[in-house]
Amino acid sequence: MATPIPDEVGMLYDALIDSASVTMGKNLHFGYWESPDSDLSFDEATDLLTDLLTERLHVGPDSRLLDVGCGVGTPGVRIARLSGAEVTGISVSKEQVERANALARSQTSACRAEFHQANAMELPFPDASFDAVVALESMIHMPDRGQVLREIRRVLRPGGRLALTDFHERTPLPPAHRAVVDVMLKDLMSTMVQVDDYPRLLRTAGFQFTEMRDISEETLRRTFQTLTERAAEMPTEVLDKLDWKSDPKDMIDVAGFGYLLVVAERPRADDRS
């Protein structure tokens, strides 16, 4: 899998700004359904995933939260609105940051959220300036997850929490499935981790590991089914312009591909910068 280049990822999301709002909707991440018969719509299920991460961050009106890879601002604005926290979001996509700030401006003044174009590999914030960090499906695009985790630890205060989601290989992929996954990862300029990478990555970056949950069953099948239906409704000229080689339909039955929820804390006794 090729290493993603942040500027190119930013250009990809700039180019996707309208088509992604048709396929993915307002959140650019997978949905979460507690059971196969849950009747949540796709939009509700993607909001639920935001809420599952937020509740693990223990944030309230006195908290400052960083959203790493903020998309068009839907998760950050939701967190600001529902928790009262002051939210700062970053994305490498200029277009996304403009949409995210427009969304923030459309809220009441009680909703404190602002968004900037920045690269998570070099966070433009002082040490210990946030109480919590959320990274919803943005680690998939990072050239070096270890570097981003070190940066996140640096900007978190001791005792501050991180919640993220990421793609992982949950069981070894047979060659036919590996080929399907590789095509999707290439189109998305992303990579996945191995099932046991996170405990080591977090420890090395100076985090205390709190929770790791494989939420593939709750997220993948219905998201890929929804994307398959929505892709079928996209105008051909939009699809031709994207020139993607992958098809969400091919991912529906790839059991070895997985989706992870990870929570960690910067140790309270850690006052290193």
Ligand X SMILES: C[S@@+](CC[C@H](N)C(=O)[O-])C[C@H]1O[C@@H](n2cnc3c(N)ncnc32)[C@H](O)[C@@H]1O
Binding-site size for ligand X (CB under 6 A) equals: 25
Among 31, 75, 160, 248, contact with ligand X (rule: CB under 6 A)? 75
Is residue 257 part of the contact set for ligand X (CB under 6 A)? no
Contact status: 6 vs ligand X (CB under 6 A): yes
Footprint on residues 87-116 left by ligand X (CB under 6 A): 90-93, 96
Does 120 sit near ligand X (CB under 6 A)? yes
Q: Indicate which single residue of 53, 103, 104, 142 sits in contact with ligand X (rule: CB under 6 A).
A: 142
Plot region of 41 (φ>0 → left; ψ -120 to 50 → alpha; else → beta): beta
* Strand partners for 117: 91
256 lies in the site for ligand X, by CB under 6 A: no
CB 227 to ligand X: min, Å: 12
* Binding flag, residue 138, ligand X (CB under 6 A): yes
Among 23, 25, 27, 56, binds ligand X (CB under 6 A): 27
Q: Whose Cβ is closer to ligand X: residue 103's or residue 270's?
A: 103
88 SS3 class? strand
The set of long-range contacts for 243-246, using a CB threshold of 8 Å and a minimum separation of 24, is 244/187, 245/183, 245/186, 245/187, 246/180, 246/183, 246/184, 246/186, 246/187, 246/188
- Of positions 9, 192, 205, 231, contacts ligand X by CB under 6 A: 9
Phi-psi region of 71 (alpha: psi -120 to 50; beta: other; left: phi over 0): left
Q: What x-and-dash track marks residues 207-226 binding ligand X by CB under 6 A? A: --------------------
- 90 by DSSP, 3-state: which? strand
Which CB sits closer to ligand X, 136 or 270? 136
Considering only 16, 23, 25, 29, the residue that binds ligand X (CB under 6 A) is 29
* Whole-angstrom distance, CA of residue 158 vs CA of residue 139: 22
User: Which of 93, 144, 134 shows the shortest CA–CA distance to 113?
Assistant: 134
Counting contacts by CB under 6 A, is residue 131 touching ligand X?
no
The DSSP symbol for 110 reads: T
Listed in sequence order, the residues at least 6 apart from 110 whose beta carbon sits closer than 8 Å to its beta carbon are 81, 84
Token pair in block for residue 40: 């949540």
- Considering beta carbons, is residue 2 or 174 the nearer one to ligand X? 2
- The Cα–Cα gap between 169 and 154 comes to 28
Taking CB under 6 A as the binding criterion, the range among 24-32, 79-87, 170-178, 193-201 that sits at the site for ligand X is: 24-32
248 touches ligand X by CB under 6 A? no
Which residue ranges make up the site for ligand X (CB under 6 A)? 6, 9-10, 13, 27-29, 69-71, 74-75, 90-93, 96, 119-121, 136-138, 141-142
